């Protein structure tokens, strides 16, 4: 039995691919009668992107943003038998075990440039993306949804890219802590001047205890051992170190760098 803080539900049916997404996420139904957008562990980017999704969604919530509820989707590749599309079949076969599910928001639509409720959410999104070094929130690809009159953030697999450099062992948290982040392509870059006015408030919502709680949500089986961190607990601790180090600096705030 694998340890995960996320609720685990079983996939009962693969419904349809979401072709717009680069990672071929798909809509699935599960045995809790829920409908989820499934991010597959067998997709090209590997399981680290799922880890980033869980951590950053948790951070978003702590910062007062809305993001779809997450579950771990247990996939029995036997459902691939009912799938005609060969690419999807391969993906399902490569994804036995726990995958990431984000609650499907029916009737949501893509961001249209108007932030409901003023600029509060926009500044928070910008701060979050600077903190986690998310490069995936541009006008081309906002990864924002509007649902029931509110702004929802999705798709955080491209954040925390430092972990892609862990193949030879856990790298130096100090480097991530000092890594600047550019708001130039960010959909809310025009709000950068407001960052100093929310920085202290948002920082105070986070600490290493919060980071540990978020890491406890991540299933063990997504936390692949690397040299120097050879079990899930050690990998979790490495993430907590990186996030804590980043929280201790301000170079990454676009305003501070200017
Ligand atoms: N929870 C959700 N509810 C409704 N639509 C979603 C949800 N998650 C993703 N989508 C839709 O699917 C698209 C692709 O999902 P996304 O998480 O952005 O994956 P990718 O990494 O492939 O870009 C999104 O742009 C959005 O239109
Ligand atoms: Mg996306």
Q: What is the pLDDT along the chain (258 residues), one digit of tens a residue?
A: 457 799 999 999 999 998 766 678 999 999 999 999 999 999 988 999 999 999 999 999 999 999 999 999 999 989 998 888 999 999 999 999 999 999 999 999 999 999 997 899 999 999 999 999 999 999 999 999 999 999 999 999 999 999 999 999 999 999 999 999 999 999 999 999 999 999 999 999 999 999 999 999 999 999 999 999 999 999 999 999 999 999 999 999 997 544
Burial of 79-113, coded b for 16+ CB within 10 Å and e otherwise, reads bbeebeeeebbebbbebebbbbbbebbeeeeebee
Question: What pLDDT is attached to residue 1?
Answer: 47
Q: Give the start-to-end residue ranges of the domains of the chain.
A: 8-103, 110-151+166-257
Question: Does the predicted TM-score (pTM) go above 0.85?
Answer: yes
48-62 vs 208-216: helix crossing angle, rounded to 10: 130
CB under 8 A, 24+ apart: contacts of 249-253: 249/177, 249/178, 250/199, 251/177, 251/178, 251/179, 251/180, 252/130, 252/131, 252/133, 252/179, 252/180, 252/181, 253/127, 253/130, 253/195, 253/196, 253/199
Nearest CA to ligand 1 atom 13: 21
Token pair 């949804």 is at which residue?
Answer: 145
CA 21 to ligand 2 centroid distance, Å: 5
Ligand 1 pocket test: pick from 15, 17, 25 the residue with the most ligand atoms within 8 Å of its Cβ.
25
d(CA 171, CA 235): 12
CA 197 to ligand 1 centroid distance, Å: 31
Question: What pLDDT is attached to residue 21?
Answer: 64
CA 16 to ligand 1 centroid distance, Å: 13
Q: Are 180 and 253 in contact (CB under 8 A)?
A: no
Q: Where are the alpha helices (DSSP H) in the chain?
A: 48-62, 86-93, 120-132, 173-178, 195-203, 208-216, 232-247, 254-257
Q: Are 194 and 256 in contact (CB under 8 A)?
A: no
- Atom index in ligand 1 nearest the CA of residue 25 equals 22
Query: Which residues sit opposite 53 in a β-bridge?
Result: none
- Residues having CB closer than 6 A to ligand 1 are 18, 20-23, 25, 37, 68, 102-105, 108, 143, 145, 154-155, 157
d(CA 140, CA 157): 17
Question: What pLDDT is attached to residue 186?
Answer: 97
Query: Which residues sit opposite 30 in a β-bridge?
Result: 11
Question: What pLDDT is attached to residue 241?
Answer: 98
Q: Are 136 and 96 in contact (CB under 8 A)?
A: no
Question: What pLDDT is attached to residue 2?
Answer: 59
CA 121 to ligand 2 centroid distance, Å: 19
């Amino acid at each position: 039995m694998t340890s995960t803080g996320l609720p685990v539900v079983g996939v009962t049916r693969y419904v349809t691919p979401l072709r717009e997404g680069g990672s071929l996420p798909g809509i699935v139904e599960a045995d809790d009668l829920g409908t989820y957008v499934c991010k597959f562990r067998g997709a090209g980017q590997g399981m680290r992107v799922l880890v980033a999704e869980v951590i950053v969604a948790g951070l978003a919530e702590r910062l007062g943003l809305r993001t779809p509820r997450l579950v771990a989707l247990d996939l029995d590749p036997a459902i691939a038998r009912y799938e005609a599309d060969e690419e999807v079949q391969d993906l399902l076969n490569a994804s036995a075990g726990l995958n990431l599910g984000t609650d499907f928001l029916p009737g949501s639509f893509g961001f249209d440039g108007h932030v409901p409720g003023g600029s509060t959410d926009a500044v928070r999104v910008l701060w979050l993306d600077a903190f986690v070094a998310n490069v995936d929130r541009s006008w081309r690809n906002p990864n924002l949804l509007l649902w029931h009159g509110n702004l929802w953030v999705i798709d955080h697999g491209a954040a925390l890219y430092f972990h892609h450099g862990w193949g030879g062992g856990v790298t130096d948290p100090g480097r991530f802590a000092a890594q600047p982040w550019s708001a130039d392509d960010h959909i809310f870059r025009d709000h950068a001047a407001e960052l100093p006015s929310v920085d202290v408030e948002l920082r105070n919502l986070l600490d290493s205890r919060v980071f540990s709680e978020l890491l406890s949500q991540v299933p063990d089986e997504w936390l692949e051992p690397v040299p120097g961190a050879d079990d899930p607990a050690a990998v979790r601790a490495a993430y907590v170190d990186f996030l804590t180090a980043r929280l201790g600096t301000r170079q990454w705030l676009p305003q501070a760098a200017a």
